[in-house]
Amino acid sequence: MAENKDIDGRAAVTRHPHEQMLKLVAKGFYKELINYGVKEPEVFDRCGTPPR
């Protein structure tokens, strides 16, 4: 099956809206934890993997 691409050649966001939303929420929460003063290694100790 061919992947749905937009004009710029990127995969359309609407193809996986649930995954996109989870990624957006996780990234925002990560940034808030860092802003609050939680150290990066502490975040990764709890979640298990670093962000991409």
pLDDT in tens, 10-37: 655 566 888 899 999 989 999 999 999 9
Q: What confidence score (pLDDT) does residue 1 get?
A: 43
pTM: 0.56
Judge contact between 12 and 4, C-beta under 8 A.
yes
Please tell me the distance from the alpha carbon of residue 17 to that of residue 8, in angstroms, as a whole number: 19
DSSP, collapsed to helix, strand or coil, labels residue 30 as helix
